[in-house]
Amino acid sequence: MARYSKEKQTLFLLIVGLLAWLVPGAGHFVLKEKKRSIIIFVTIVLTFCVGIYIGSIGVIDLFGTTPWYVVGAQIMNSPMVLVLGRLTTGGAYPVHGWPNEIGQIYTSTAGLLNLLCIVNAVYLAHLRGIETAGE
């Protein structure tokens, strides 16, 4: 039975976590959880897109709404949020009132959901590593 070294296991966990952040559901896909990965991808992307639809691209602002962007976890959606944040720098797409707030809530909720899925994917990978090492 093959035993994985601690370094290989740690590298695998980092890869799973990074993939899960790059594309929502990709961490579960690597773990051969295809149905779960599809559900995660569709749920997170639709929630994020609804937030963008309601509040426009202006709800992702690197400098104007920093707490929503960093602490509010919009960045946890994927690196695509960095690209969108660069487009809206300098208030190029101003959004005010309820659409701004609701759009920020939806996009941040999508990011927090993705954070939970990243943690779950890494945890599942960790459990599978323990099972493999215990054989």
- Is residue 57 included in any domain, yes or no? yes
Residue 59 gets which letter from DSSP?
G
Domain count, the chain: 1
For residue 1, is pLDDT > 50? no
78-85: average pLDDT: 81
36-67 burial string, b = 16+ CB within 10 Å, else e? bbeebbebbbebbebbbebbbbbbbbbebbee
| pLDDT tens digit sequence for 50-60 | 998 998 887 88
Residue 117 has pLDDT above 90, yes or no: yes
Q: What is the mean pLDDT of residues 8-24?
A: 92
Which residue range forms the structural domain that includes residue 95? Answer: 42-129
Q: Categorize the per-residue pLDDT at 37 as very low, low, confident or very high, splitting at 50, 70 and 90.
A: very high
C-beta atoms surrounding 13 within 10 Å: 17
Any domain includes 88? yes
Which pair of structure tokens corresponds to residue 83? 């690209």
Does residue 63 lie in a domain region?
A: yes
In a domain, 125, yes or no: yes
pTM: 0.81
The mean per-residue pLDDT over the stretch 119-128 comes to 93
Rounded distance between C-alpha atoms, residue 80 and residue 118, angstroms:
16
